[in-house]
Structure 1
């Protein structure tokens, strides 16, 4: 058998290995030298008894960046840092619960919107540095020290509301001194022999004292916030008050200390190094420095405080920072390790959990990825050149899910600082500085002094003031009968509502408008010819939504190949939620297909993300579209004409008339609890019990049936207590009758021309628990005269993603928080979305009764992310409370792609569905049981089910055990809270019984997965790939291709869900 080649290594010495070379050149310097000698593949170094494996090869890094095969693992230095940073975000192992919990809780604090909230605080600290340098004008400043003061003060005030006031004194803060010593000692510990560390007792005492000092400062910051709480959304408030959206838990006090310390360290140390390197390169490249001066004079003229929009336009400075990070990534390495034994580079076998160090400083200078790698060239980062870079040739912030969470904060902060300093000062290097590196765990230029002098007026470029244009409304377009088609692909109705609004506006402007579903348009057979074509479509699991299925099939069949529509113009808006797999897949496909016909694209394909500013993205698309059609800036009279009006009159209320035609009344036959009490079964601190889960039986209307695997779509109602809360806040009378009038289209979901009570209008027609839209926030702000309320509402707009979206802050929540703000009933209804249907998998088979459909509905009840009371699932709470004899509005729906059992009942199946994911699989097995009872041959079924505890939430246990006893199914069970059981999750059970699973797959089994799409489904897919690898000896990429073939061949199906609508 051929042997694997050994990993190469430069010559070393006995006992010490390569430590003597590191002592001479420094760790980074030595690794740069060795990396040049070994630019391909892996190399290894010995640090006494420790062996380290490294790479600077971008192709190897591409393999290591595959997060299904490799994960971040703290290296030796970070394991030492864990002595004071514990399981903080930077030093935690990926499987430590606190990493995932903290990452999910803190991620909203680093969104694009959140940056706007930090902007003024960063500018305030930069103003303090500018004032310090003005006092020192004409003298030399130690750049690294001032950049360290700047970045420490910025993260401290923005993240924790703490002021170090570092520029008020000459000496560095004692926290910085203690931190610098601690990081230096850490580096020494990992670059010395163990025997040397044992004799470094004095250094150890200082190290312990430094840790105590840092902990004391952090504990003081936390204690001060507890004594003086605020309602802000900074990092510290999230740590103290926010609940993890997955586990429902908060961070514990010890971990909060670790996280604060982590951000104080990582939040300033690397950014200060980046700025210091950038200034040193500017002084050695005067032509680039001149470009920077010209840019700040053009974008930020005068001495006024910069605004966020100006900083966003600083593209030259951004390229300077990126190139400085390329040459000297201030966190110069990170460590990855394989989940299982892996062959890397086709040559080297890495055992499970064997660390490999990606030496970023060497990677960034590898000729395989970079032309002239040692030269400072900011033009590498021009957009077209950046797009052509090796995809894994630059890793200054790490990789994947464990990449630096604060990288956007760092870049915004660095751009603000460099721009403000260059606007105010000329910089020079009278001493001819030669770059030397200071190493702790990060790197920065050592002893770099720079002379600063205040810029004179004649030194600034005289450019007219550049003003940032306010967002303009776009006026009317002269449509003059021009043909205009708006097509929608929709499952929940959102895309249709947007399409109706666009169509309504086009009608007002005189276009000859048609609006219809994509499938209806396709069936009609009309080509766009010379018309404007606007497509608004969603994606469902990467496939077409319900009203675009026929178009998708036509695309698959090549029906549009060769189509020529050169006189048509088009625009595509894709809507969806970025937490779903294959986000925007179908809209991208439609956009590409239209482009291939030769039609003219009016505006770039736009994306409206339910996780972000959805309404703002839609408004931006419409604005850009109308500008492309020839509108002039200005108010749109058509918009005013389309506003909603309400008139109090006597009339009837009719919800049915406002729902889609296919919605019908479904009678509730039974509603039973499936979950038993969990008291005494396990420690709830480890995992909470499952909320109420109901088995709900519905009788369908006469003439309507279903097929196994179908969905029931349900239109829920708002909870009475929420409706009464809105009525009280708006000072309304719930029984008062109102007549609803308004233009069709955008108000199609309302009972137009009919009379309803205020209470029913709020109960049946609009979503009251959705996050408030930016449009509504802006209108509330403009409508209030209270300065404090205007400021509070503006803050919500500026930090929308974190302050509103992530917390699901509703319109009534905002009204309750800002008593001076007000809204009329008409405004509240206009600002609120239509009630969208919620889909539930049918958990029964029509072979038993084709007019009775069972649903398994899991409820949600947890502290609200907004911090205001309890969040209860909109539809699940409604369904849990309906009583037998009541009726709900809904309809039967065939999912796309279909999720149905094999047409041949003899086909074996593997059914994977933990928790409520069992619902459609219950229907599959009930169908197999009925077929078997009727004498048909049925294939073997393996049911893989998971829950918390068998005595608590083993749903439909009696049925499962009966099916197993009757030979209908074999059970594989996982229990996450029952520690005596060998398997916690369904993927654990699959892996443990891989031989049984593989035998079924080899026998032609079809695989079905239903349930959580964020964690469970990807874990199951990865486990199936690993089972294939184990059975065949193939590699992961081949296993992925095999699974794709299973999907394409109709043998792998999934029906997964996330959160939200």
Structure 2
């Protein structure tokens, strides 16, 4: 039986229970009962009258439900059912902030574009880069208070506003308000307050009355114009800078220079203005309120204030200058901020609306597009969740207590993808500001401030004053031991290594080599720390867990399932027999790798963690999460440090060379080695599939497709494949890149070297046998991988040239090091070799160069042929990657695709057959049709599927007609395998529904449009038992296809979004929807 909240959208409204509502006035409802200057507080007071967890207010005929029950809010936060709605008073701000991130509607393109462009500016790495700016402004605040003396009355809200405005403007836009050097607040703030106040005023006025408030309208327009004038000045100053703003990696630099990774479009000038206004308002107003509330709460709770002072004195003893690493140790201050935000969330509500008619709580009907408001002041006091909800108790946020909270009971930064993008910025800034204030000042409230809240769109205490006296040395807690950061990270700290010969099993589960590389680095460090460390795939514990020692797991998830090296273990987990084993003498640690853009992020690492816990093993540290979408390296490093700290080992010389290089005579025997686990395979043919696009369309619409090749490869006699398998190809670096490396290192290309491992975990280099320098750099290492901060640190240490050291230091030191690294190195994919060529004074040996390079990784290609037709020959469809280098120097060519493009018949490649997990193979029952959906080279596996069906038909079997929705640019340019598909279509094997992105008159631009047009045929095929297959781009195409399938279900069955989404999820789980996607 399904719950009432899952009832279809057309369920009888009469069956719903009415939402309770306070008594109002005829015609006007509750409109005049809501004072604009205390609206949020009134909503809180009203919520106490309705224990149901929600109520409804009537705004002159427009009824709006207000919700505060955590259980009901959980439903509102389901983004498959509800979306953020920009309604009054927030919508009134669009006159000034337009479609900025805060005020953009859900379906406005600029929201997604700006969100994707600006996300890097709020990563953990970025926070470290902002730290020095934050500290500079916090010190300016403290210096002002010190100058004023102990008897000065400090207007807290005003000074917190100065602090946060200066911080966001300087960190985000390189603009100095210098607020602490002027007695009055900046005019921008007066204009902003006027705009916010008028927005609240319009909320509680009848539209007819508002039409006659002309003076209010004039002031509002004047204030908006004043804000625009300042923002235009900020943008103009940056554009007129010497470099025009190019290279700046702060918020404004990203807005001016970065392009949306999805659409490849920049932000337009109007939207840049709106984004700057958005961040100047949202980036300071709520944080200043948080700090003002927090200082009030500390002064009202002396015991908590004493805890905070003790923590600051421990972490920042004496006159210690705060460092970024100190922030992680400010646990009490973090809990003060969290509890303050619980009681007084400075953005006190957010609104959503359902995509379809629905019910919440199983009984309250909500119409499609009806606005529903979450009242955070009441949610955070929901008595069903919070004990003593009005009490200020920072222990609620101790880790063990926070873990028990209802997952939707605490929403100070909003929800889901529309949650506050600057959350980390605000908390980092607030923690640092409180730490600086408490380190330097003794605080007091001589006036016994009576609590009054000022409401605009945000909340803050009004009229709160305090006094600040410089602390005496005798008031400070004496701390004799080093801080935790010093004890862990100082490379020259004393102490013995802790391994003592204890066994350590370092296991990896991955498909692309990253997890294995991390595992081997961990094992190498552990070996130096005295452990008996061994590296192996996760499948080695499928039958039995180690009974003692330490087990370290580095694992990822592949398409929601286990990666290649953990499939056997996953099968045991699926059978539930792995959980019955015991390993109570084992310690373990798990690092999960992946990308949070994918729904199954961390799915398999969590399963491994649960298995180990169920077996009675003991966790050493919490599971780590390394997210390829944000701060992957930093997360790996942080988790690794916590692991070594817990094990009592130090990570010494972690970045030293991993091999010793002994040069041998050039005429020594040349080593000819293939990469591990690969076989030699012969290229039989290499044909171009794309035709010249000249004259077919205007290339400003979209550039032509690059060269795309059809390769056929002869497999060894003892190697087989199944239709739908992958071929993992081990490429070679291009000759020009190898020659550039050889020339830069002043090596002889034909010189032979012998490599000897300095520890047992060097697997990717040919050891103990002669190999030429050319082959070593061509076959065994990645020359085009993007340089990391660790790489640049090593290069910095490898030069004595002051000028070059200074050039490298900009990515390692200073206010904007992290931002500049992201902008100059990460975004344009600058490699170590690029840096060596660019900076000739760096002195690097071959040994040190190899230590900076990762192993040559395999690239996976879907096999585009049928094993039934050609069991010993595999076909590949390879789209080449080539174009101007993002680094700005020369041309970038994809390592594997350009390697394969140049191969002639008779050439040999190193490759291995790999079966996808989960399987991506045609249905063995030819009587069932298939629905095949793909674009570009995503057609590769489908060519193999249909070739197999053609062979079955030729053998006399009855074969159902399949459907192919295929997208390309133009039918005369890149309709891959068009003639073959036409022949199969004529034979009744397939119906093709094309989409052409560069044919303006064609009705379907993208493959999802063709899918929608074919929906009746798709449903008929599905009813006949078809499986749906999707192959190709995983960032845009695959999500668009999923959305279209959901819409198709809604259109056919009249289902709501949740039901349709559940249907598609069920098809994925049952195997009737399969995808093989790539970025």
Task: Give the alignment's TM-score, normalised by structure 1.
Answer: 0.91
Q: Distance in 1 between matches of 2:453 and 2:523?
A: 62
Instruction: Give 1:293-442 correspondences, 5 Å limit.
Output: 293-442=309-458
Q: Distance in 1 between matches of 2:883 and 2:419?
A: 30
Instruction: Give 1:614-625 correspondences, 5 Å limit.
Output: none
2:715 match: 700
How far residue 269 of structure 1 moved from its aligned partner, in angstroms, is: 1.0
2:735 match: 720
1:493 match: 513
Residue of 88, 99, 102 corresponding to 2:100: 88
Taking a change above 3 Å as real, the CA distance of residues 423 and 496 of structure 1, as seen in their structure-2 partners, is closer
How far residue 159 of structure 1 moved from its aligned partner, in angstroms, is: 0.8
- The DSSP-based 3-state class of the residue aligned with 2:34 is helix
- The DSSP-based 3-state class of the residue aligned with 1:695 is strand
> Which range moves more in the overlay, 970-979 or 63-72?
970-979
2:7 match: none
Taking a change above 3 Å as real, the CA distance of residues 47 and 1002 of structure 1, as seen in their structure-2 partners, is same
Taking a change above 3 Å as real, the CA distance of residues 24 and 112 of structure 1, as seen in their structure-2 partners, is closer
Residue of 777, 784, 789 corresponding to 1:769: 784
Q: Distance in 2 between matches of 1:574 and 1:651?
A: 47
Q: Distance in 2 between matches of 1:218 and 1:849?
A: 65
Pair 1:281 & 2:297 matched: yes
2:287 match: 271
Pair 1:1055 & 2:1076 matched: yes
Pair 1:201 & 2:219 matched: no
Taking a change above 3 Å as real, the CA distance of residues 393 and 519 of structure 1, as seen in their structure-2 partners, is closer
Q: Distance in 2 between matches of 1:398 and 1:136?
A: 38
How far residue 235 of structure 1 moved from its aligned partner, in angstroms, is: 1.0
Taking a change above 3 Å as real, the CA distance of residues 680 and 820 of structure 1, as seen in their structure-2 partners, is same
Note the alpha carbon deviations across 1:606-629, whole angstroms, 9 max, x for none: 444445565565566666666666
- The DSSP-based 3-state class of the residue aligned with 1:139 is coil
2:767 match: 752
- The DSSP-based 3-state class of the residue aligned with 2:580 is coil
2:686 touches 2:905 (CA, 8 Å); kept in 1? yes
Note the alpha carbon deviations across 1:781-808, whole angstroms, 9 max, x for none: 3333425245324249756667654553
1:108 touches 1:806 (CA, 8 Å); kept in 2? no
2:812 match: 794
Q: Which runs of 5+ in 1 are unaligned?
A: none
Residue of 564, 571, 577 corresponding to 1:553: 571
2:43 match: 31
Taking a change above 3 Å as real, the CA distance of residues 261 and 894 of structure 1, as seen in their structure-2 partners, is same
1:694 touches 1:858 (CA, 8 Å); kept in 2? yes
How far residue 677 of structure 1 moved from its aligned partner, in angstroms, is: 2.0
Pair 1:851 & 2:872 matched: yes
How far residue 926 of structure 1 moved from its aligned partner, in angstroms, is: 1.9
Pair 1:782 & 2:803 matched: no
How far residue 445 of structure 1 moved from its aligned partner, in angstroms, is: 1.7
- The DSSP-based 3-state class of the residue aligned with 1:301 is coil
2:723 touches 2:944 (CA, 8 Å); kept in 1? yes
Residue of 964, 971, 975 corresponding to 2:985: 964
Note the alpha carbon deviations across 1:137-163, whole angstroms, 9 max, x for none: 212121111111111100111111111
The count of corresponding residues between Structure 1 and Structure 2 is 1052
Pair 1:906 & 2:917 matched: no
Note the alpha carbon deviations across 1:353-375, whole angstroms, 9 max, x for none: 33322222232222233222222
2:179 touches 2:186 (CA, 8 Å); kept in 1? yes
Residue of 915, 918, 922 corresponding to 1:897: 918
2:4 match: none
Instruction: Give 1:645-660 correspondences, 5 Å limit.
Output: 645-651=661-667, 657-660=673-676
Taking a change above 3 Å as real, the CA distance of residues 303 and 564 of structure 1, as seen in their structure-2 partners, is closer
1:170 match: 183
Q: Distance in 1 between matches of 2:429 and 2:191?
A: 24
Taking a change above 3 Å as real, the CA distance of residues 668 and 180 of structure 1, as seen in their structure-2 partners, is farther
Q: Distance in 2 between matches of 1:412 and 1:510?
A: 37
Q: Distance in 2 between matches of 1:1009 and 1:797?
A: 41
Q: Distance in 2 between matches of 1:194 and 1:542?
A: 52
1:916 touches 1:1011 (CA, 8 Å); kept in 2? yes
Taking a change above 3 Å as real, the CA distance of residues 128 and 516 of structure 1, as seen in their structure-2 partners, is closer
How far residue 839 of structure 1 moved from its aligned partner, in angstroms, is: 0.4
> Which range moves more in the overlay, 104-113 or 436-445?
436-445
1:778 touches 1:797 (CA, 8 Å); kept in 2? no
> Which range moves more in the overlay, 430-439 or 617-626?
617-626
Taking a change above 3 Å as real, the CA distance of residues 947 and 654 of structure 1, as seen in their structure-2 partners, is farther
Instruction: Give 1:395-794 correspondences, 5 Å limit.
Output: 395-464=411-480, 466-467=482-483, 468-469=485-486, 471=489, 485-500=505-520, 515-519=535-539, 522=542, 528-530=546-548, 532-611=550-629, 631=649, 633=650, 635=652, 642-651=658-667, 657-674=673-690, 677=693, 681=697, 684=700, 689-743=704-758, 745-785=760-800, 786=802, 788-789=806-807, 791-794=809-812
- The DSSP-based 3-state class of the residue aligned with 1:362 is helix
- The DSSP-based 3-state class of the residue aligned with 1:923 is helix
Taking a change above 3 Å as real, the CA distance of residues 440 and 526 of structure 1, as seen in their structure-2 partners, is closer
How far residue 949 of structure 1 moved from its aligned partner, in angstroms, is: 4.8
1:487 touches 1:533 (CA, 8 Å); kept in 2? yes
> Which range moves more in the overlay, 711-720 or 41-50?
41-50
Note the alpha carbon deviations across 1:55-94, whole angstroms, 9 max, x for none: 2232222112122222222213333222221221111123
Instruction: Give 1:182-261 correspondences, 5 Å limit.
Output: 182-228=195-241, 229=243, 231-261=247-277
How far residue 272 of structure 1 moved from its aligned partner, in angstroms, is: 0.8
1:479 touches 1:506 (CA, 8 Å); kept in 2? no
> Which range moves more in the overlay, 728-737 or 961-970?
728-737
Q: Distance in 2 between matches of 1:757 and 1:603?
A: 44
> Which range moves more in the overlay, 713-722 or 47-56?
47-56
Taking a change above 3 Å as real, the CA distance of residues 558 and 665 of structure 1, as seen in their structure-2 partners, is same
Q: CA RMSD in A?
A: 3.3
2:191 touches 2:223 (CA, 8 Å); kept in 1? yes
2:349 touches 2:373 (CA, 8 Å); kept in 1? yes
Residue of 71, 74, 90 corresponding to 2:83: 71
2:850 match: 829
Note the alpha carbon deviations across 1:981-1027, whole angstroms, 9 max, x for none: 55554445545554543443333222222223344434444554555
Q: Distance in 1 between matches of 2:164 and 2:707?
A: 48
Q: Distance in 2 between matches of 1:349 and 1:655?
A: 74
- The DSSP-based 3-state class of the residue aligned with 1:236 is helix
How far residue 174 of structure 1 moved from its aligned partner, in angstroms, is: 1.3
Note the alpha carbon deviations across 1:147-205, whole angstroms, 9 max, x for none: 11111100111111111101111011111112221222222233322223222222322
Note the alpha carbon deviations across 1:696-733, whole angstroms, 9 max, x for none: 33333344332210111111222334334434544445
Q: Distance in 1 between matches of 2:721 and 2:825?
A: 39
> Which range moves more in the overlay, 739-748 or 231-240?
739-748
How far residue 418 of structure 1 moved from its aligned partner, in angstroms, is: 1.5
1:713 touches 1:838 (CA, 8 Å); kept in 2? yes
2:5 match: none
Pair 1:290 & 2:303 matched: no
Pair 1:876 & 2:897 matched: yes
Q: Distance in 2 between matches of 1:442 and 1:305?
A: 33
Q: Which runs of 5+ in 2 are unaligned?
A: 1-11
Taking a change above 3 Å as real, the CA distance of residues 655 and 471 of structure 1, as seen in their structure-2 partners, is farther
Q: Distance in 1 between matches of 2:704 and 2:999?
A: 12
Q: Distance in 1 between matches of 2:640 and 2:434?
A: 36
